[in-house]
A and B are shown apart, each in its own frame.
Chain A
Amino acid sequence: MIQIRELVSTDIDDVYRLEKQIFQSDAWSKQNLTADSEASHTNYLVITEDEKVVGYAGLSSPPGSFQADINTIAIAESHRRQGLARQLVERMIQLATRHGAENLFLDVRADNPGAIKLYQGFEFEHIDTRKNYYQPAGVDALVMRKEIYQPLVMGIETSCDETGVGIVRGNRLISNALNSSMEIHARFGGVVPEVAARAHLEALKPTIDSALSEAGIEIADLNAISVTNGPGLSGALMVGIGAAKAIAVAQDKPIYAVNHLVGHVGADILERGSLQTPSIALLVSGGHTSLLLVRDLLDDVELLGETIDDAAGEAFDKVARVLGLPYPGGPEIDKVAINGNPYAIWFPRGLSLPKDMAEHKYDFSFSGLKTAVARYVEKAEEAGEEVQVSDVAASFREAVVDVLVTKAVKACAEYGVPRLILGGGVTANARLRELAKQKCDEAGIELRIPKFSLCTDNGAMIASLGAQLVMAGREPSSLGFGSESTMEVSKVQSL
């Protein structure tokens, strides 16, 4: 039976034997083959017949380069003219598309008309010739290129207080328009769902218009629409859902209903070119504090832990109020904490004691911390002591950031994951960035923090996740999905 599967290390000997037979003097060394097939930016496939390797192909697609190369493609003499090479080329094109390549390149011997014809059949064009490339025979190499059309996707985000409309093409960020109702919420000390929903409706058209004009495209140019349908505030989510569905029907485009939290992880793709997996993601905002293990962005996202009471951003807002600082609390506390001593007051680290770690290893709790700060301030006031706001702010901030980073780094270690992605509005916090950098450096973990406009809630990250679904050939959602305010992270797309 003929099968196509990913190359595993035990295939290398078989592949190397074929490589020598087929390419002879041009053959790669076993060492090169091994290194290339193990590299993080390559994909190697083998064709087997009854578990015997009869062909293989390798694709290289460095993240962020928007291009891919078919490094090699070979079929055993005994198995040619059975359409196997065609199948491998098809799979290489699928992989290149999924990785966001806009151009796919390959080299082919000028004296191999069969192969050239095969590639032409897949719309590879001959763009250059390398004279006498294959030695010692002195045969020319033809450089061929296939343009890959990556999907143009609009993403609509209305899960909280930001109306976001973003446009991406594959892995490329095209535009990211945002209207925030944060200032209206300031006098209430927190996001008021009804106020947020009203603001979304008013911001909808201007935000769509600016995303389109910034991108220089028309809605008709889009290949798909994606929209956040959870988790978030129901009434707010529904504004985006209503709009997205109407656009889908008005322009007869497929629609993808996607998970807001997974969208935050998808934001990293717009900067790095593709998501490296596995990754641990720490998402911290006014509405969420979640630690995710992402083995595959579209198929395998696991919630390791989340806050059991207040979100981290919410704790900043509440403590800011206790300290008489304005809303939103995060930047304000950051500002006064600069001059404070983070060790002046010991505030509790929520769910960090051994007894809590058994059940809540990766969960967070900030409600007790907020109360501890309030208690400290009230006691001091009653005693007629002057409260050192900067020390309280710095000590509180340290307690929050300490728990966040400690648990995230612990998760990386426990699951053997060498990278951590931060997302959410609280990533603007200077101390969080600093401590995460320090602890990740110490532990040999790569830290990814997308630029701030991609960290806070935004439409581009939703467009990015939608684009990944399109690129992977996933079916669109039906028109009947609703909002799911408590959607679990394992549900990446609602069908």
Chain B
Amino acid sequence: MILAIDTTAGTTAAVIENQQVLGFSEFDDRFGHAENIGSAIQQALQRAQVTAAGITSVAISRGPASYTGLRVGMAAGVAFATARSISLHAVVALDAVATAYPSENSWLVISDAKRGEFFACSYSGVDDSGLAIRSSELEVLKPEQLEQYSNLTKVDLNCDAKLVGLYAEKAIAAGVELHDATALYLRSPDVTPSTKKRVTG
């Protein structure tokens, strides 16, 4: 039984087993991740009528997404897995969305990257396990750069813990490793090395 956590948009948690969502909790507030993460996990467990001890692995969403919120969910997932000594799986949010919303032809999954830009990745189909196949790198695109993908079906839907959990379960069953649990920021921190400034004219 998987506990899935996603904070790429709102704060969501889900309990997944056999591709069924047994419990789901969602808090919409885009600035309330730290406040809501504990209750989201607790509610998802309660709604699935399981205790924390019934969870056998944790799946987290590793972005790309807005950094501060993303880290809250990732930190929670890492800590939950550590606290219960169970395995941790980290899912690329765009992969989870792409897998949940496949298209006949190639498709492009995008999400808000702030500063007028988009996180994006294109997909060309679905493999035997039902996982979407990437046909590009994960990218940060400006609006005008999106045009080069105008021939692709655009999927602009939020990720959530249900999608993350369902993706993780399929991937684990197919033997796909989801061990890289580093956050996908896709940008360097916005900072430049300091220089000495004069105080006298």
The chain A residue with its CB closest to the CB of B70 is: A201
Of B71-79, B94-102, B140-148, B168-176, the segment with at least 4 beta carbons within 8 Å of chain A is: B71-79
Please give the distance in Å from A212's CB to the nearest CB on chain B: 9
A residues less than 8 Å from B84 (CB atoms): 250-251
Q: Which of A358-413 contact B (CB under 8 A)?
A: 371, 374-375, 378-379, 382
Q: Are A378 and B200 in touch, CB under 8 angstroms?
A: yes
> Is there contact, CB below 8 Å, between A322 and B75?
no
CB 8 Å contact bits of A50-84 with B (1 = contact, 0 = none): 00000000000000000000000000000000000
Which of B36, B79, B189, B190 has the most CB atoms of chain A within a 10 A radius of its CB?
A: B79
Write the chain A residue with the least CB distance to B193.
A187
Kindly provide the distance from the CB of B45 to the nearest chain A CB, expressed in whole angstroms: 7
Partner of B41, one of A241, A249, A482: A249
A235 cross-chain contacts in B, Cβ below 8 A: 67-68, 71
User: Which residues of B lie under 8 Å from residue A375 when comparing CB positions?
Assistant: 199-200
Cβ-based interface call for A246 (8 A) = yes
In the complex, B153 has a CB within 8 A of chain A: no
- Please report whether the interface of chain A is mostly helix, strand, loop or mixed according to DSSP: helix
List residues of B (34-61) whose CB comes within 8 Å of A's CBs: 34-39, 41-42, 45, 51-52
Q: How large is the interface on B (under 10, 10 to 19, 20 to 34, 35 or more residues)?
A: 35 or more
Let me know if A209 and B200 touch, CB within 8 A.
no
On whether the beta carbons of A204 and B67 are closer than 8 Å, the reply is no
Contact across chains for B196 and A321 when beta carbons are under 8 A apart? yes
User: Residues of B contacting A246 with CB < 8 Å?
Assistant: 37-38, 41, 75-80, 83
Report yes or no: A201 in contact with B74, Cβ–Cβ below 8 A: yes
Interface status of A348 (Cβ within 8 A of chain B):
no
Take A192-B189, A194-B189, A379-B200 as given contacts and tell me if A204 and B78 are in contact as well, using a CB distance cutoff of 8 Å.
Answer: yes
**B1 → chain A closest CB, angstroms:** 14
Which A residues are CB-close (under 8 A) to B72? 238-239, 241-242
A346 sits at the interface (CB 8 A) = no
How many residues on chain A are close to B (CB under 8 Å)? Answer: 49
In the assembled complex, the Cα of A465 lies from the Cα of B100 at a distance in Å of 46
How far does the alpha carbon of A201 sit from the alpha carbon of B80 in the complex, in Å?
14
Interface contact B193-A245, CB-CB below 8 Å? no
Q: Does B151 contact A (CB under 8 A)?
A: no
Nearest CB on B from A197, distance (A): 6
How far apart are A359's CB and chain B's nearest CB, in angstroms? 26
The reply to whether B71 and A378 form a contact with Cβ atoms under 8 Å apart is no
The one of A194, A205, A382, A481 that contacts B190, using a Cβ cutoff of 8 Å: A194
Please tell me which one of the listed residues B34, B42, B199 contacts residue A482 in the complex, with CB atoms under 8 A apart. B34
Interface residues of B (CB under 8 A from A): 32-39, 41-42, 45, 51-52, 67-68, 71-80, 82-84, 182-183, 185, 189-194, 196, 198-200
Sort A-B residue pairs by CB-CB distance and give the 10 closest, nearest first.
A245-B38, A189-B194, A479-B38, A243-B79, A246-B76, A242-B75, A250-B83, A242-B72, A246-B79, A194-B189
